[in-house]
Structure 1
Amino acid sequence: MSTQEQKLSAVPPAPAAPATAPAAPATPPNRRVLVVAAVLALVAVGIGGRMWYRSHYYVETENAYVAGHVHPVSSRIAGTVTKVLIDDNQLVKEGDVIAELDPFDQGVKVEQIQAQIASAQQQVAQADAQIAQVQAQASAAAAQVAQSDAQLVRAKQDAERYGQLYNNQMKAVSKAELDAAVATRASAVADLAARKDSAAAAKAQIASAKSARDVLNAQVAVLQVQLKDAKQQLGYNKIVAPVSGRIGKRTIEVGQRVNAGQQLTAIVQENVWLTANFKETQLAEMKVGQEVKVTVDALPGKELIGKVDSFAPASGAQFSLLPPDNATGNFTKIVQRVPVKVTFKPEDVKALSGRLVPGMSAVAEVAINQK
């Protein structure tokens, strides 16, 4: 055997080809993916359902603020501050004195008017005495008129009788006696006229004296009104709280010179409400009396229940300093907001002990379409 044949015989024979392997089975779908998809679908349905439910039964706005009565306290008169009896954030009651001004100027004015009244009243008393004196003179003049009138009657009778006696045939009286009787009658006439003039003058003096007294009484009345005003001005030196509440924004110090009408501080009352600015498209189903859920940013986790009290008579834009003028040709439609007043129960506000104050931001949610 040749060497080449020996090499060929040494090579082992090739193995036989294996039989065809069976096909691998198809991979089953991932159950986790299906579960996640199902959960997401349920969540989406839940969110969508909740959104539909809330849009159908509730309207909400974040444009809401706590509001309340803020009363400015001003001085009625000009003066210098001598006392300040309040501090920031202090509780005060209606009528409490919060500051005092120097009363010297007003006190002097009161004393001056009182002195003028006393002088005028003394003049009235003098006028009354003068009237009484003139009335006595008038009474005497009237008595004299009556006496003169009686004398005139007698003189007329005497003159008439003497005339008859002189004119008869017997000439019972002389011509001198007749002339004397006639002269007496003329004198009586003149005396009566003089007495009447004196009585008339006395009456005129009475009228003049009464008129002067009336003028003095009018002056006294005017002075009494001025005194009342001066005392009131004197009382204005004590600045009192117009309402009960809490002091805020105090700007007054001892020694400060203040003017009439100048604001010195402000008092915030505890009674507050909510002003919620809803879009005009949210008002269709809103009515007075509907329940409102309110959450205040300053009170996290605290939900207040209120009710719709009233709607503003115009949108907020109409009350701005520059109301929109849509007739100029540059109109752009913007959804307007209308202020809605929401009130709370007084006991709920009181329970918060002053933690709910004007200016705080809030979220208001109104329940609509509910029976």
Structure 2
Amino acid sequence: MQIKQIFKSGITLIAFAIGALGVLIVLYAWQLPPFRSSVETTNNAYVKGQVTLLSPQIAGYVVGVPVQDYMTVKKGDLLVQIDDRIYQQQLAQAQATLQQQQAALANFAENRLAKQASLDLAKAQLQSAQAGLEKAELDDKRTGTLVDRGFSTQSSGDQTRVALLQAQSTVAQAEASVKIAEQNVALVDAGKSSLEAAVASAEASVKLAEINLDNTRIVAPVDGRLGEVAAHVGQYAAAGTQLTSITPAKVWVVANFKETQLTHIGVGLPVSFTVDALGDAKLTGRVERISPAAGSEFSVLKPDNATGNFTKVAQRIPLRIEIDEGQAAAANLRPGMSVVVKIDTANTPLPALASAQ
């Protein structure tokens, strides 16, 4: 009987010990007191980089692809060559039009001088006609007096009167010629702005043709490594067709921490992380920036929590981590790699998030 009681007591103690051990394991796994650590960890983190997709701005047949998949290239290196014969001819046509418009503008000065000379001649003829009118008026006055006194014949008076009328007509004609010459000069001056606009338009056409010709050469915008090269000789590439991509050497880490982990995390805090693809290699960095909003706020379809039953879910806040220089393993990082990030917040003052402002 005593053995049976002892056996039952032993089973109870073992069950209690197992239960206590299970509770301790759960507390440790969830980092709850008394096992809460100052080190915040997340495996929701990835290596990021600026992967740039390269596409042509103009359409044409591919005539040259001097690169291959995953090659390292320098800024300005030729990646894809599109047939440029049409664009060369368009540039030559635009340049010829520009020369024509420039010649027309250059002729403006000569035409202006000719019209101004005609105006000066008309004014001189008007002055001559006015002088002739003044003499005819004096002759008519003098002859009229002599006729009235009987010292001259009536025919002489008629002749001076006719000469006066002719002089008046000559002056009117000269004045009309001056007006016509002035209008011709004004018309030439008015055409100058049109000629200048035509030259500016032709210059813009040349520049556009040069841009289109330059766009037949798809070059590397930055130093980096190529992705898969989809272009091949003979392919017709429409504007916007993805030909390849380039990834610069500069990479960083984006770690998505739960909002409950950010109490002591601030900008400038040291970070250590490991990358799945690099085994146990440990790298270091520093918190560079903290996202201004949770990741859900940037999603296309935002969750609507104002419906039905609600279950609170801790949101994730992205952190951008700058990788420290001088680490050999960092050269093997590639955008998209999975990362485990650890941040020791033991020495971080409160509140840490204020430093993100």
**TM-score, length basis structure 2:** 0.83
Q: 1:251·1:264 contact (CA, 8 Å) conserved in 2?
A: yes
Q: 2:125 aligns with which of 115, 124, 144?
A: 144
Distance 1:130 1:260 in 2: 46
User: Which residue in the other structure is 1:357 paired with?
Assistant: 334
How much does 1:53 deviate? 8.6
Q: How does 1:232-271 map to 2 (within 5 A)?
A: 232-271=211-250
How much does 1:246 deviate? 0.9
2:268 corresponds to 1:283: no
Aligned to 1:352, the other structure's residue is in SS state helix
Distance 1:198 1:56 in 2: 103
Aligned to 2:300, the other structure's residue is in SS state coil
Counterpart residue type for residue 367 of structure 1 = D
Gaps of 5+ in 2: 1-16, 349-357
Counterpart residue type for residue 354 of structure 1 = A
How much does 1:128 deviate? 4.9
How much does 1:334 deviate? 1.2
2:90 corresponds to 1:113: no
- The Cα offsets for residues 109-154 of structure 1, whole Å up to 9 and x where unpaired, read as 1122233334444444555544443333222221111100111111
User: Which residue in the other structure is 1:20 paired with?
Assistant: none
Q: 1:271·1:346 contact (CA, 8 Å) conserved in 2?
A: no
Gaps of 5+ in 1: 1-36
User: Which residue in the other structure is 1:368 paired with?
Assistant: 345
- The Cα offsets for residues 293-330 of structure 1, whole Å up to 9 and x where unpaired, read as 11111222321111111111221222223211111224
Q: Please identify the structure whose Cα radius of gyration is greater.
A: 1
Deviant stretches of 4+, over 6 Å: 51-54
Q: 1:297·1:360 contact (CA, 8 Å) conserved in 2?
A: yes
Task: Pick closer, same or farther for the CA change 1:364–1:353 going to 2, 3 Å.
Answer: closer
User: Which residue in the other structure is 1:22 paired with?
Assistant: none
Distance 2:103 2:230 in 1: 48
Q: 1:141·1:195 contact (CA, 8 Å) conserved in 2?
A: yes
Aligned to 2:231, the other structure's residue is in SS state coil
Q: 1:128·1:213 contact (CA, 8 Å) conserved in 2?
A: no
Aligned to 2:250, the other structure's residue is in SS state strand
Task: Pick closer, same or farther for the CA change 1:53–1:251 going to 2, 3 Å.
Answer: farther
Counterpart residue type for residue 267 of structure 2 = V
2:205 corresponds to 1:226: yes
2:60 corresponds to 1:79: yes
Task: Pick closer, same or farther for the CA change 1:204–1:231 going to 2, 3 Å.
Answer: same
**TM-score, length basis structure 1:** 0.80
RMSD between superposed Cα atoms in Å? 2.6
Number of residue pairs aligned between Structure 1 and Structure 2:
323
User: Which residue in the other structure is 1:315 paired with?
Assistant: 294
Counterpart residue type for residue 339 of structure 2 = A
Q: 1:101 aligns with which of 78, 82, 94?
A: 82
Aligned to 1:160, the other structure's residue is in SS state helix
How much does 1:182 deviate? 2.4
Distance 1:234 1:187 in 2: 69
